[in-house]
Amino acid sequence: MSFTWPALLWGMVLLPITVWVLVRAERRRERTAQAFADVHLLSVVVRRPTPAQARWPLMLYLLALSLLLLASARPVAAPPLPTNKAAVVIALDASKSMLAGDLNPNRLEAARAIAKEFVRLAPATTQIGLITFSDSASVVVAPTTDRAVLQEALDNVKPVQNTSLPSAIVTGVRLLPGRKEVQPPKELQPQNPQNPQPQNPLVQPDTPPIPREFPPGSLLVISDGATNVNSNPRLPNQTALEAAAKFAQDNGVKIYAFAVGKEGGAVVRIEGQDYFVPFEPRSLQQLAERTGGKYVYPPTEEALRAVYRELGTVIRWEATKLEVSSLLSGLAVILMLVGAGLNLRLYRRVP
C-alpha cells in the first residue's frame, strides 16, 4: 500500500495522546463519583461494567481514530480486480475497388456501417483501434475506449488506390497491445532493389521466433478480399498473404474477416473509366481459418453480434490502483457507531 499524502501519517502520534487523555478522564470520573456518593450505595446507584467490557468501547474508538488518520493520508491499494483486457483493431479496406456498387450504395459504405455497428455494440471497456489500407496500411486511431474518436475517424475514411491485405495484417498486429516491437516477417519487409536482403540487419531470417505470451488481441478485417500489391513486389500475393497469416498466428492474433461484395464482382467507374473489380472472399476465409478466427459472409446483424460477443470481453484479474480512503472512513464511522452503542448499553450514556 502506498500513500498520496504520506506526511499526514505523522498524525498517528495522536493515538497515544488520545489514550492518555481518555484514561485520565475516566479516573477523574471515578474520583468524582467516590467524593460525592456513599461508597456502600455507589455500586447500586452506578452500574459498573467488568474491566473486559469496559475496554471494548475504548478499543473501537481508538481503531476508528486509527482508520481516520490513515484515510487522511489517502492510501492507495492495488487489489486484483476483474478487468476487460479485450483489444480489437478494425482494418477497413479503403481501396478504390470498394467503390463498386454491388452493395447499396457501395462496398465502402457497407464496410463503414459494419465497423460503426461493431463500435456501437462492443462493451465500453473494449479497446478498439482503426487502420485503413489500400497500397499500404495507415494507423488512424490507436486502440482506445473513446467511441466518439472512432466514429469520427470512420466518417472520414476515403478511398485511395490498390489493396494490400498483407500490409493491413502486419500493421494491425503490431498496433495491438504488447506487440509494438515485434518484427514483420522478412518476406514482407520492403526490399532494396540493389540488395534483395531485408533492410534491417538485426532480423535473422533463420532464427525461429521466441515463444511468448501476448495480451489478448484480435484483428477485424472488413474488405472485398481482392489484394493486388504488397510491400515486396517480388513476392506473389498468395505467398504474401500466407506469410502475413503466419505472422498473426505467431503473435497470438486471431483474424475475423467480414467480406463485403457480391459473387461475380462488379463494374465501377473511376475517373471517367469503367473497371471490373472482383470479389474474392476466399482470401479472407483462408486468413480467418489459418489464425483460428472466423469468416463472416454475408455480414448480417446476427453474425456481427456473435463476433462482438466473442471479441468484446476478455476478463483478466489485474492489480488495479485504487484509493481506499473513503472505504477506511466509512469503516471508521461504523466502528464509532458500534462503540457508541456499547457505551450506551454499559454506561447509559454516549461519550
d(CA 247, CA 255): 11
pLDDT band at 289; cut points 50, 70, 90? very high
Helices and strands: H and E segment counts in the chain: 10, 15
Q: CB under 8 Å to 277, separation ≥6 — which residues?
A: 96, 97, 100, 224, 226, 265, 266, 267, 268
pLDDT tens by residue, 310-339: 887 776 666 778 888 999 999 999 998 998
Q: What is the DSSP letter of 13?
A: G
Backbone dihedral angles phi then psi of residue 178, each to the nearest 5 degrees: 80, 5
Q: Grid coordinates 470479389 are at which residue?
A: 279
Residue 200 is predicted with a pLDDT of 42
pLDDT band at 170; cut points 50, 70, 90? very high
What percent of the chain is helix, strand and coil (3-state, nearest 5)? Answer: 45, 20, 35
Residue 90 is predicted with a pLDDT of 96
Residue 37 is predicted with a pLDDT of 56
Q: What domains can you pick out in the chain, each with its CATH number?
A: 2-78+322-347 (no CATH), 82-189+212-317 (3.40.50.410)
pLDDT band at 284; cut points 50, 70, 90? very high
CA atoms within 13 A on the CB side of 138: 13
pTM of the model: 0.70
- State percent of the chain over pLDDT 70: 84
CA of 120: how far to CAs of 114, 128, 147, 148, 257, in Å?
10, 11, 8, 10, 18
